[in-house]
Every structure is written in C-alpha cells, then in structure tokens.
Structure 1
C-alpha cells in the first residue's frame, strides 16, 4: 500500500519505523509546523523520518485547500495518523483511496482525547491498550478496526506506559493495514454510551491534594509523570513555602499517628519522609526542590529543615 504517514510526537515513532521496514511504501511524513519564532529541536517524528531518509512536510494545516491538493497529488492508498495534533476534515480524509486510520492509546470508546494514557493511570486502571480506528471528523469516534490490550503495572508512570503502548501499537497498525489491503477488515462501531473524555492536562493539575487517599495520590503522581509532574509546597522556617516536585512515592502499609492528623501533615522526616493523606500515608521516594536536581527524599531531608508535624500545602 502507498501510505501518507501523519504524526508529530513520540507515540507515532515505532509505527513509522515498522511501516518503513514493511512491504508498504511510505511516501511522505507529515508533521505539525514549528511554533513561534524560536528555533526548536525537531519533534520526534521529524527526527525519525530524517534518520530513515523519508521526505518530511510540515504544513500550517492539513485541512487547508492547498494542503489537500498536495496530499491528493501523492495518490496514496491510505493515510496513517498517530499523535499528529490536528483533527482532520472529511475533505482531507478523502484525498486517499481508503481514507485514514488512526492509532489511539486507549481502549476506545474509553478516553477519547489528547491524554488517554495519562487519564488511565490517574484513574488507577488495571488495563489499557491501543485502538486503530477508521477516521471520521469526530474526536476519536470512528469505527474500530482492531485493538490490543496491556496490563498496567501498579508502579509505572504514564510515560512508561505510553512507551510500551507505542511499541505494542506498531504491529497492530500493520495488521489492520494488511486487512484493509486484503479487503478483510471488519469495522465495529463504538458504543457512544461508554465514551469518556481524556482532555489535555495543565500544569496546575499537578498540585497534590493531600485530602485524597494515599492510593489515589500515588496514581495522581504516576499519571503526572513525565509531564506536568506532581508537586506540593513545603513550609520553610524563613520565606515562602518551597515548591517540591514529587516523582515517586509508595503507599505506607499500616501507617498511623498517635491521634487524628490533618492531611498533608509530615509524620516522619528522619530516615524517610512520610506524609499523612486523607486515608493512609505516603512515603516520598524521589523529589525535586525548586531550582535543584531530582534526588532521593532522604538526600532532600539532609538539607531541609522539615520536622514531623509540619504541613504540606495543597494550595497555590
């Protein structure tokens, strides 16, 4: 099959490599254009395409009439889209013989949107996966052409899960393209009643709410890694509270205190850093104080005047 591959971020790179190594022909890699005037590093798909010797095109929008005309000129059989960053119109999808397919990092119809992997981890899901859909103008709403499933490790971050899903998605895309070429693909309509949203995260959402249970806060911290990263504020003897990024934690089994304590209260601050939650407690393992490198919480304690009874701030 003659393919136009559209993608910008890292999730699409394993699929591009698999397509280039297959019997199919990648005609061009289409990526989103540079933002602003500053010179930025090439996005992952552009870097991968250049490494593979593939032509790259970065239009302002694939939905412009001149872009559609150029895409039509490739005379491609199929458009393969993944981690691209723009919703494609019907007229854009119609420039190839078989339209477009999209690799999405969730078990659709669950988690439609820009951050499906992050929301799966944030919600503490035990399972995730990838779906290849036949593209429509709706957001991740097209018929499913195939799915693959992965168990989520209870300690892995959204970034780690996303990397595994991106690798597992490549053979799924190849399988679907093979079925489309053979005329054996069987599209299945998504159940709209089961659809959930996975909107893009913001930096502010990284703020830890200590009133939640220890397990939910751990899921929050896992889901915020590697971006925007979870954080809290630590009281200092002098000056403003210190912004502390939290990268890795573990639930402390059987943790307790002599009496009722407010969520966010430091329970231990010597051999380890333990903080009370709305239910249970968390041991902070890896942290990054503002203006410093990431470090073990034990190293942070050596230079920070934190004592049991201090309270982590849950407000900006």
Structure 2
C-alpha cells in the first residue's frame, strides 16, 4: 500500500444509498477537474431481496455512480474485517457519508487519513436518527437545516463542521423539504471539505468543529405506519403537520364511516387546510357545515382537499363528499 499522501488534493471514498446524497456527491465529482481530487470508490447498501414484480427498490447513489463509471461496492457490513481491509487499501484521505444506512465503527473511520464527514438533514443535535426531515415537520418546527459533522462512532454525534438553516414552508411535505435540504447541503459539504483540505494530520490539528450540546439532543427514529393514523382530537395545525410530514411515506390516514352496513373505509389524506374557531368537542370527527369536506377537530375544523380511498384513485375532498352524499353533523370518522 502506498504511504498516506499529504497533498492539497483529496482522495475520497463516498458512502450513500438514497437520494439525499446525490447532489453533494455530484458536486464533489464536478469539481475534480479543478481540484485534482479523486473518487476512489462509492459504497452503497446491498440490494435487498426482490419481493414484488416491480423489482428491487431504486438506489439513486448506485445509479449515479454507474452513470459516471465510478467503481461501486456494496458490502453487507461496512465494519467486517474484509471490508475494513479493502477500505484501508484504497488509501483514501476522506470518507464522505450521507444517507448510507450503516453506522461506521472506529476501524472503518480510521481507514481514511482524515476520517469521515457526514451530511445530516437537521440542525444537530436536534433529530439524530433515520428520519430527521420528517420529525421536524411532525413536530411543527418553523425552521430546519443541514449539518455536516466530523464523524465519531456515536450516531450523528460528532462535532459540527458546517451547517445551513432554512425556514420550513407552510405547504411543504417531507418529500419536498428533503429535496430542498439535499440541495442546501451541497454548500455545507463543500465548506467542510475545504476546511479539511488543508489539514495534514488529525493528531496534530486537534478537535474539529463545534461539539454538540448533549442537553439539546433529540431523536428522529424511523417512521412507522401506525404513527400515520390521524387523531382528530388534535389541533388543526398538528393534523396538517402530520399530513405533510407523512408524505411521501407512509401517508396519513383515517377510517371513515360512509355506509353503516359496511366496515369503516381506510382513506389516505394527502392535503388539508385548517380553519380555527371556538371548537366544540362534540364535533370532533363529524362533517361540518362547509362548501368543501370539513371535519371537526380539536380546535376547529380541517378541510380535506385531497384524499385517496383504499383501492381508488386520488380525488378532491369535495368529490368524495358529493359521491357519498355526506351531510353536516354526520359522524364520518370511525371511533
């Protein structure tokens, strides 16, 4: 193996699987002509077993790498001794990790001269974990952002090297916000790389970045389908945040009673508008007097603009109301 290089040019190993990583990885690739940097290899998660006719799920980073003829590897575990040996043999200066899906242990991080950086979709230490974008929306936050950390074995716990902040738009879904944050993350990633470029040795440089405040840590566990069920006693804003936060997956839902002789119908709720007034608890879950499809909630009513009944196409709330001849006062939401 060649000795570690101490030059201004960098040799990268990129690690990612999902779409959040692609804009930053592409920015690194595009600047290689001007910097002299190299991408030694791209690591992605292995493809899961195919369980449907639709084939394996997309892997945007794999597709991006293959489209640019970059070498791709997909080990079952990045921390296996054989994988660590392969990583070390690449003689990389820096690991750039984003949306990868595996936690790197110390031996993996030490395989590169400068260790690794990770682009995360929140303003750390808030929302450490797998679903930071969704959790920010579900919590009703008004702003969020991205953080680039110098990685440690603790999940999302390393010092912050660069960050960017952005307001959350009132009509933004998790999917839309995630795309926007991935683009905002490009500048933060390149800023972090620029800082690391001049470092000859981590041992001689000392701590990097700003340590995270442990008192401000919050978790962002992966979403579950059960969390997507709407509680109509919640406030209109809470319901709106749930509907937007659960898109594109698993999608907020409720059960409606449109025929007393049939079981409740599961309906996916894809778009709502809130209207607040002096609420009456007896109206929760009932159809309200409104030109559209309005349902009573904890602090007023929620107008359902788009929905999708099980087994049917997406439609407007008004079309659903007309099709089922719903009237004011009707108990629509199943208890």
TM interval, shorter chain, is over 0.9
Is the contact between residue 210 and residue 314 of structure 1 (CA under 8 Å) also seen in structure 2?
no
1:252 aligns with 2:275: yes
1:130 aligns with 2:170: no
Distance 1:285 1:109 in 2: 35
Q: What's 2:26 paired with?
A: 17
Q: What's 1:3 paired with?
A: 12
What do residues 51-92 of structure 1 show as CA deviations (whole Å, max 9, x unaligned)? 222121111110111111111111110000000001110011
Match of 2:94 among 67, 73, 78: 78
Matches within 5 A, 1:282-297: 282-297=302-317
SS of structure 2 residue aligned to 1:132: strand
Matches within 5 A, 1:1-316: 1-23=10-32, 24-38=37-51, 39-183=55-199, 186-237=208-259, 238-254=261-277, 261-268=282-289, 271-313=291-333
Distance 2:147 2:334 in 1: 37
Aligned pairs, number: 312
Distance 2:299 2:12 in 1: 52
Is the contact between residue 288 and residue 329 of structure 2 (CA under 8 Å) also seen in structure 1?
yes
SS of structure 1 residue aligned to 2:333: coil
Distance 1:234 1:90 in 2: 51
Q: Cα offset for 1:303?
A: 2.1
Distance 1:314 1:208 in 2: 11
Q: Cα offset for 1:304?
A: 2.2
What do residues 10-38 of structure 1 show as CA deviations (whole Å, max 9, x unaligned)? 11111111111013322211110111244
Distance 2:242 2:229 in 1: 9
TM-score (norm 1): 0.94
Distance 1:159 1:206 in 2: 15
Distance 2:11 2:18 in 1: 22
TM-score (norm 2): 0.89
Is the contact between residue 272 and residue 304 of structure 2 (CA under 8 Å) also seen in structure 1?
yes
Q: Cα offset for 1:306?
A: 2.6
Is the contact between residue 208 and residue 314 of structure 1 (CA under 8 Å) also seen in structure 2?
no
Structure 1 gaps, min length 5? none
Q: Name which of structure 1's ranges 180-189 and 127-136 shifts more when overlaid on structure 2.
A: 180-189
Distance 1:27 1:118 in 2: 33
SS of structure 1 residue aligned to 2:113: coil
Is the contact between residue 255 and residue 266 of structure 2 (CA under 8 Å) also seen in structure 1?
yes
Is the contact between residue 268 and residue 275 of structure 1 (CA under 8 Å) also seen in structure 2?
no
SS of structure 2 residue aligned to 1:106: coil
Distance 2:278 2:250 in 1: 29
